[in-house]
Chain A
Amino acid sequence: MTCEELLELLQDYIGNGLVVEHRTTVEVHIRGCEHCGILVHSYTHTVRVARALPKCKPLPAAFEARLRSVLESELKDDKPKGS
């Protein structure tokens, strides 16, 4: 396996999308190639840190207040008259 071939398979390798034979070939190459070992390590970590980002940080306070006010107006407008 060449370094270029490894690069083509890298995405599927770290996503566990390779059949066993290809996976083994990649792993053998990584063990013998410092260049690709470093690449796989840093690529994998790049994916990992993105996944560790908070998906749901709180809204900025000023925007939260504005949004709540918009929502309340919307709900008031939707309420049937006399209720």
Chain B
Amino acid sequence: MFDPPPEKLTPELVFRDYAPRIYNIARRMLGNDADAEDVTQDVLLQVVRKLDTFRGDSQIATWLHRVTVNAALAHRQKRANRQKHENGEIDDDTLGAGGPISPGKRWNVGPEETVLAAEQASIIEQAIEQLPEPFRDVYVLADVEELPNNEIGEMLGLSLAAVKSRLHRARLRMRDLLAPHFEGKVTS
């Protein structure tokens, strides 16, 4: 069977196929609905204005990740300035630089268990919101969006080593946050 010809990119198609994706990335990076809505509207209008310059779906998808991440970072910076928070340099030690790792108890989950119940998804989303922002950005892009580390480094202006370090520490923190929900969980 032949693949169907690619649909021509129209504003409606962009709205239908890409707005939810943009919203979900922004929502996870920014941690609240209002900011995610602002970013989604901003990015969607940028896409629609440049629609003629895209040659197809794969090109627009790559571009969208980059523009969404940039818009979310800019939005966060604007918000921080508005609130007169002192951002300063990102402290790479926010999640602690090491020390002994407690293994906790064995998680009672199957090796291939990947379908999440709504309640589990909600627990994971709440844990992501608790990650400090620089770690959350890397975590969302690497483990939720499944982008390669080198692309994440380019988007966030980080070296590959910094991406890997933040991702590793974000995962360890996520593991601690999720442990109470998965340790001893009874699976069917």
Contacts and interface: CB of A to CB of B under 8 A. Distances in A.
A37 B48 CA distance: 50
A51 B182 CA distance: 16
Interface string A52-67: 1111111110011011
Contacts of A42: 103-104, 106-107, 175, 179, 182
Interface in A35-83: 35-39, 41-43, 45-60, 63-64, 66-68, 70-71, 74-75, 78
B50 to A, nearest CB: 12
Given A51-B143, A68-B15, A57 B20 contact: yes
Contacts of A68: 15
Contacts of B121: 53-54
Interface in B93-127: 101, 103-107, 109, 113-116, 120-121, 124-125
A42 B185 CA distance: 12
Contact of B171 (A46, A53, A56, A58): A46
Contact of A71 (B15, B21, B37): B15
Contacts of A74: 45, 48-49
Contacts of A51: 114, 143-144, 146
B168 A59 contact: no
Q: Which range contains the number of A residues in contact with the other chain?
A: 35 or more
Given A38-B103, A42-B104, A46-B175, A53 B125 contact: yes
A71 B116 CA distance: 34
Contact of B20 (A11, A41, A58, A66): A58
Interface string B9-37: 00100010001110110000000010001
24 contacts: A11-B164, A34-B103, A38-B105, A39-B101, A45-B107, A45-B182, A46-B171, A49-B124, A50-B124, A50-B139, A51-B144, A52-B116, A53-B125, A54-B121, A55-B145, A57-B24, A58-B20, A59-B19, A59-B20, A70-B41, A71-B11, A71-B15, A71-B45, A75-B48
